[in-house]
């Protein structure tokens, strides 16, 4: 009787090989959770998914493989395993460490590289009903500490035979500068600027043109980003010919 009880107690308390426990589940989810937490903390997952989705999925795939290898290694652990199982367990463990390091390193690279990519500025603007006052809101993000956002506001005249959709639509000497502003980013690399201007009456001007850019010079509004220059943001508001007579 005592012998039978000892056998039952030994079967209950003795660890066995090939049993998946809590450690195996943790090994499966921990690398992926750490990588996703990195993207979440940086707030860059959406941008990376749009701009560099291929390397993002490679990083996630690597940590998923690492988690699977850790789970299998845990499954092979325990007393009673064969020498071959022990070798496989060691190789899987070291492989999981390598895959985790590469995947997490790629994730870090994506986060830091994405943090230095500037977006084209954004502009929203309106004129009052009399077209005598302009209100504009200009924002930019991900600026380096030594970079700046430049804003230009001009009265401009569309050249004969052209429209505001042309590549260079305005007369070179048919504009009146109203505002020039140059401002640096805050601690998060963002710029948020509101502008209120009085529009002078008179003149044959056809539009109010607002340009915002972070590159060395402002480009044509239609040009796409080139290299490190994210391009020039433009808002063009039409002016009535009789605006000064209201």
215 vs 193, which has greater pLDDT?
193
Mean pLDDT of the 25-51 span: 66
Residue 39's contacts (CB-CB under 8 Å, 6 or more residues apart) are 45, 48, 107, 111
Of 28-32, 48-52, 155-159, 161-165, the one with minimum mean pLDDT is 28-32
Residue-range domain boundaries for the chain: 2-115, 122-245
Confidence of residue 60 (pLDDT cuts 50, 70, 90): confident
Integer Cα distance of 181 and 196 in angstroms:
12
Determine what percent of the chain is predicted with pLDDT higher than 70: 72
51 vs 124, which has greater pLDDT?
124
Mean pLDDT of the 183-190 span: 87
pLDDT at 14: 46
66 vs 115, which has greater pLDDT?
66
Fold of 122-245: Immunoglobulin-like (2.60.40)
pLDDT at 244 over 60: no
Mean pLDDT of the 148-155 span: 93
Residue 14's contacts (CB-CB under 8 Å, 6 or more residues apart) are 79
pLDDT at 8 over 50: no
Nearest to 230 by CA among 150, 135, 125: 150
pLDDT at 27 over 70: no
pLDDT at 222 over 80: no
156 vs 27, which has greater pLDDT?
156
- What mean pLDDT value characterizes the chain? 78
Of 23-27, 124-128, 141-145, the one with minimum mean pLDDT is 23-27
Mean pLDDT of the 72-95 span: 74
Buried b or exposed e, range 114-145, using 16+ CB within 10 angstroms: beebbbbbebebebeeebeebebebbbbbbee
Integer Cα distance of 91 and 113 in angstroms:
33
pLDDT at 107: 82
pLDDT at 28 over 60: no
- pTM of the predicted model over 0.75: no
Nearest to 151 by CA among 197, 199, 114, 205: 197
Confidence of residue 99 (pLDDT cuts 50, 70, 90): confident
């Amino acid at each position: 009787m005592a012998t039978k009880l000892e056998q039952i107690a030994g079967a209950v308390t003795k660890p066995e090989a090939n049993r998946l426990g809590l450690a195996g589940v943790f090994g499966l989810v921990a690398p992926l959770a750490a990588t996703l937490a990195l993207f979440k903390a940086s707030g860059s997952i959406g941008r990376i998914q749009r701009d560099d989705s291929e390397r993002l999925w490679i990083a996630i795939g690597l940590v998923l493989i690492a988690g699977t290898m850790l789970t299998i290694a845990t499954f092979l652990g325990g007393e009673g395993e064969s020498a071959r199982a022990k070798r496989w367990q060691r190789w899987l463990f070291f492989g999981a460490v390598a895959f985790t390091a590469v995947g997490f390193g790629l994730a870090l690279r994506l986060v830091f590289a994405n943090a230095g990519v500037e977006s084209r500025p954004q502009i929203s603007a309106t004129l009052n009903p009399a077209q005598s006052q302009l209100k504009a809101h200009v924002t930019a993000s991900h600026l380096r500490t030594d970079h700046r956002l430049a804003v230009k506001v001009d009265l401009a005249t569309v050249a004969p035979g052209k429209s505001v959709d042309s590549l260079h639509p305005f007369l070179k000497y048919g504009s009146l500068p109203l505002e020039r502003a140059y401002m640096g980013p805050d601690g998060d690399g963002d710029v948020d600027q509101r502008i209120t201007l009085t529009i002078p009456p008179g003149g044959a001007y056809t539009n109010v043109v607002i340009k915002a850019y972070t590159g060395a010079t402002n480009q044509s509004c239609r040009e796409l980003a080139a290299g490190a220059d994210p391009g020039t943001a433009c808002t063009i508001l039409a002016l009535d010919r009789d605006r000064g007579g209201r």
